[in-house]
Structure 1
Amino acid sequence: MTIVNSYLNFSGNTEEAFNFYKSVFGTEFSALVRFKDGPGGDKMSPENADKIMHIALPVGNGNLLMATDMIESMGQILKTGNNFSLSITPGSEEEALKFFNGLSEGGTIEAPFKKEFWGAYFGMFLDKFGVRWMINYDPNAK
């Protein structure tokens, strides 16, 4: 079985974003590595050394949401765009609504969570960290 995990890049606020996601999903980090813990970490500025090199958050049934801070002094430049979405397919309408309401808090709703013409409940938004999400719950899917 193939599992698709999403990996996100942030411009220095990975920890803030992932503490927010953790509060919504109600799970604990399965990994959290700071740059200071990796090779050459002792040579980094204190500000960059405390940034997140790798973080993983279980979000259900073997799926992980993972991320890193991009460090400009290492030549990493974040270019935020709309070239990706994270799509969640919850197991119930209640769970779908919980995720939609929680993750969209402070963000911009692009499609309100409602029953759509294809028979599923769907909503789409840009969260307060600039990450695009789609929530799709189909009560007829098996």
Structure 2
Amino acid sequence: MESYLFFGGNCEEALNFYKQSLGGEIVTLMRYEGSPMDTAQLAANWKQKVMHSTFECEGARFMASDTMPGQPAPDYSGFAMSLYVPGSDAEKARRAFNALAEGGKVTMPFTPPFWGGHFGMLTDRFGVPWMVSSEH
């Protein structure tokens, strides 16, 4: 299974933020312009928005796009993106946590929980909730 995130017009900004924060890459990026969705009803300022994208980072991936104009704003409730950093590199996980938290809100600091390893929760600057964990 893969996650699919919807954004209200700032998908490309979010993807670039994740690229910088996580060190991954934007593998696919298709715009509304030139697609079957590019009709007379599509506002001119929406043609360069993201119709579909794929982001990959160290074997994990998710997809994302901007919603169509007139659709409800994304509401990221009832789920969280989970970033697990395997191995003994808790500092790598901490760096990812801190980068994702920049401009967002930490809801649980990245610390050793009672079950072991390291774990933290945050909501990034785009309103997307994240759980970051590592083995050690």
> Taking structure 2 as the reference length, what is the TM-score of the superposition?
0.90
SS of 1:15's equivalent? helix
Equivalent position to 2:131, from 114, 129, 134? 134
Whether the 8 Å contact between 1:59 and 1:65 is mirrored in structure 2 is: no
Residue 8 (str. 1) matches residue 5 (str. 2): yes
Instruction: Name the residue aligned to 1:88.
Output: 83
SS of 2:85's equivalent? coil
Tell me which amino acid in the other structure corresponds to 1:70: T
Deviations, residues 82-126 of structure 1 (Å, cap 9, x unaligned): 211011110221210111010010100000000010012000000
Instruction: Name the residue aligned to 2:33.
Output: 36
The number of residues matched between the two structures is 133
Q: CA deviation at 1:42?
A: 5.1
> Structure 1 CA distance, aligned partners of 2:96 and 2:23?
11
Q: CA 1:90–1:13 in structure 2 vs 1: closer, same or farther (change >3 Å)? A: same
Instruction: Name the residue aligned to 1:55.
Output: 53
| Structure 2 gap ranges (5+) | none
| Structure 1 gap ranges (5+) | none
Whether the 8 Å contact between 1:34 and 1:54 is mirrored in structure 2 is: yes
Tell me which amino acid in the other structure corresponds to 2:67: M
Q: What value does the CA root-mean-square deviation take over the aligned residues?
A: 1.4
> Structure 2 CA distance, aligned partners of 1:40 and 1:133?
31
> Structure 1 CA distance, aligned partners of 2:76 and 2:61?
22
Q: Which has the higher helix share?
A: 1
> Taking structure 1 as the reference length, what is the TM-score of the superposition?
0.87
Deviations, residues 67-93 of structure 1 (Å, cap 9, x unaligned): 1101234xx212414211011110221
Identity %: 37
